[in-house]
């Protein structure tokens, strides 16, 4: 008999919407033309890309020439950060990011630091948010780029992007400069948030199709007209020479269709999912003692719930839930191969012991009330089992937590906290 599966990891990836797949199908076989070719088959492919681009334009409020399709959000982030940094060396050598950026951003800044760029990491508060006044305090004429992710991929906390954009614009106007430019990775937020680039005040925006019930392997980057940027991939000069390579026509078509569906259903789905998320949150806090919410309590995506359940270890809880067919995550999907404590939760001031009991539920289009009820039936029993064998006895006051759990006495690290080899 097939095991019941309840999916609560929509932040990691989303299932392909059947309507998106239907739009893509013709371009895998009969509509296989190269959009660079002038004959009919190539023109058809080019028209398909143009149609998909119009759907992106509508969502972002941008021009077709201001959007390039890439292979992923990671590639888009690389183009944005590397392309801006190298193109504007004459204007400055400093890039500002937050200390809770996705590794797709932080890995790029680490590489740019080796090229001689100065990286400034703005700290967030215990709610996970960057304060506009903190950004205003550090802005100077050496800064060429500010990059702040719209929604954190572990807690769902929503950064004040429009307010940060206003701070940057005021600085540029006061100093009569075109820099610093403002980039945001909106991949996680795109299903539920307004993406109009002018109202947000951003110059560059990263998106990803597979976070929108679109296909994997296709992302995009908005680049405002007039922004000084250079490519990191060279070749045939497609897409305004910013991203060479034959376009992924089925993927682009799927991206456009997924974006159009997301925009049409955004308000209705946001309200439905927020109601389910709140029921899950309230149910967990009512049924399980010693639970701490991670991230901002209200300023977060409607589908995110990240909690620390004290006195147990998150990976053990994940595996028990998996046995019950409940699929969750203990943090960002890109960190799932590591037992190192989440740098995002550490930035929020969470103790090491709290972090190892963290678990992230992210809801989505397929989530039902029956799914919530199932989790609330299964999770309390799993927590009881794990607490019964746990060596930990933590205080809810994280300031009172000792530096190491009891199991470290005698120098022996408990097996569930040992780093994988």
Active site residues: 334
Distance CA 54, CA 256 (A): 8
Distance CA 287, CA 277 (A): 15
User: Is 327 within 8 Å of 9 (Cβ atoms)?
Assistant: yes
Tokens standing for residue 334: 């890109």
Q: Residue 384: which H helix or E strand, with range?
A: helix 369-389
Residues sharing a CB contact under 8 Å with residue 84, sequence separation 6 or more, in sequence order = 144, 145, 181, 183, 204, 227, 228, 229
Tally of residues, the chain? 421
DSSP for 74-114 reads: HHHHHHHHHHHHHHTTTT--EEEEETT--HHHHHHHHHHHH
SS3 letters across 300-363: ECCCEEEEEECCCCHHHHHHHHHHCCEECECCCHHHCCCCCCCHHHHHCCCCHHHHCCEEEEEC
Distance CA 276, CA 81 (A): 37
Distance CA 257, CA 260 (A): 5
Distance CA 230, CA 84 (A): 7
Give the torsion through C-alpha atoms of 376, 379, 385, 391, to 10 deg.
-120
Q: Which residue has the tokens 């205080």?
A: 395
Task: Classify burial at 30, counting beta carbons within 10 Å of its beta carbon; exposed 0-12, middle 13-18, buried 19 or more.
Answer: exposed
Tokens standing for residue 261: 């569906």
Backbone φ and ψ for 309, nearest 5 degrees, come out as -100, 110
């Amino acid at each position: 008999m097939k095991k019941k599966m309840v999916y609560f990891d929509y932040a990691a990836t989303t299932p392909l919407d059947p309507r998106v797949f239907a739009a893509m199908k013709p371009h895998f076989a009969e509509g296989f033309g190269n959009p660079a070719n002038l004959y009919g088959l190539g023109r058809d492919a080019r028209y398909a890309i143009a149609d998909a681009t119009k759907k992106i334009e509508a969502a972002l409020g941008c021009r077709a020439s201001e959007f390039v399709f890439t292979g992923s959000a990671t590639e888009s982030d690389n183009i944005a950060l590397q392309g801006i940094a190298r193109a504007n060396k004459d204007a400055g050598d400093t890039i500002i990011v937050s200390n809770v950026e996705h590794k797709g951003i932080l890995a790029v800044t680490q590489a740019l630091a080796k090229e001689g760029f100065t990286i400034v990491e703005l700290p967030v508060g215990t709610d996970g948010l960057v304060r506009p006044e903190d950004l205003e305090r550090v802005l100077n004429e050496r800064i060429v780029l500010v990059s702040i992710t719209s929604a954190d991929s572990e807690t769902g906390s929503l950064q004040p992007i429009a307010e940060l954009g206003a701070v940057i614009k005021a600085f540029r106007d006061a100093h009569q400069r075109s820099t610093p430019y403002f980039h945001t990775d909106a991949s996680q937020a795109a299903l539920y948030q307004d993406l109009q680039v002018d109202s947000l005040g951003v110059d560059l925006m990263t998106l990803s199709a597979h976070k929108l019930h679109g296909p994997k392997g296709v992302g995009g980057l908005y680049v405002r007209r007039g922004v000084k940027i250079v490519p990191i991939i060279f070749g045939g000069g497609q897409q305004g020479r910013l991203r060479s390579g034959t376009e992924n026509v089925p993927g682009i078509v799927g991206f456009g269709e997924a974006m159009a569906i997301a925009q049409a259903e955004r308000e209705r789905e946001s309200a439905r999912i927020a109601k389910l998320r709140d029921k899950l949150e309230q149910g967990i806090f009512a049924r399980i003692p010693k639970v701490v919410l991670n991230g901002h309590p209200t300023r977060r995506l409607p589908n995110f719930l990240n909690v620390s359940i004290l006195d147990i270890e998150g990976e053990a809880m994940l595996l028990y839930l998996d046995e019950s067919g409940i699929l969750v995550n203990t943090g960002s999907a890109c960190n799932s191969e590591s037992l190192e404590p989440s740098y995002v939760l550490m930035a929020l001031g969470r103790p090491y012991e709290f972090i190892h009991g963290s678990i992230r539920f992210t809801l989505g289009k397929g989530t039902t009330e029956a799914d919530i009820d199932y989790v609330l039936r299964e999770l309390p029993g799993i927590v009881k089992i794990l607490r019964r064998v746990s060596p930990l006895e933590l205080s809810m006051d994280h300031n009172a937590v000792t530096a190491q759990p009891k199991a470290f006495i005698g120098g022996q690290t408990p097996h569930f906290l040992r780093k994988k080899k």
